[in-house]
Chains A and B, each alone.
Chain A
């Protein structure tokens, strides 16, 4: 089995990916509309406080989740969940930068073996370098006994 403490020591808090991002206003509205959103701040690009819904922000975390030299854990990775912290409203169409690091690695014992949870965190900054949001993606890997 993989040594979780060793993984944490080697990989936590080291930035491994940077992306230049721009949220398409029309797509942001689509995400709001198909999830039933009614507030014009999310559905009307002409609104003075037009902003990105949390689910659209969460989708930005779908890039590379692991450092290139992260070891294979043997099982099939699954999307265990997502969290979004909105520091300030994000206006679609503006320039953003997403910087990603591994925020946490932990294991839980399940009925069918050990599950390893890897939390990849993207911190999102605006063009002025101010932080606007934090995305956490939880990847779950059910370890194979021989891994």
Chain B
């Protein structure tokens, strides 16, 4: 169902997920774009392991990017007013990341909805969780 206004949003609805590309080539581009590309933590598995990490990481805020993208794909008219992400454990580059979001509150008069957000790995372990507040046409 296409979400065009707050009236289209249902409490408890789960947003359709998309496949997040966590390939090292993508995390590298992201890290370079935000100025975190030096050092290899997000761009090179070997260099990251030398730092004591299990491998190159997906930048935490890249997870935030996947989650806000999921919101925009679900409701192109939605504007993310606030997004809060807790980095519970590292996400590894080249490892699958599974995103999900559910509608937890709706204010139809204001055109505002609240969402719970989660990113898990293949082992169903939560890596990132958070919330978002979005605004839609009334």
Contact = CB atoms under 8 A, between A and B. Distances in A.
15 contacts: A24-B33, A32-B69, A35-B30, A36-B20, A38-B69, A38-B76, A39-B76, A59-B36, A59-B61, A79-B60, A79-B87, A81-B84, A81-B128, A83-B85, A136-B84
Interface residues of B, number: 33
Nearest to A78: B87
Interface of B: 18, 20-21, 26, 29-30, 32-36, 60-62, 64-66, 68-69, 72-73, 76, 79-87, 128, 130
Contact of A38 (B29, B33, B73): B73
Interface of A is mostly: mixed
Interface string A41-84: 01000000000011110110010000000000000001111111
Contacts of B130: 81, 83
A110 to B, nearest CB: 13
A32 B26 CA distance: 11
A81 B87 contact: yes
A55 B86 contact: no
Given A31-B34, A58-B61, A83 B82 contact: yes
A32 B21 CA distance: 12
B65 A54 contact: yes
Nearest to B78: A39
B82 A37 contact: no
B80 A36 contact: no
A18 interface: no
A35 B79 CA distance: 17
A78 B89 CA distance: 10
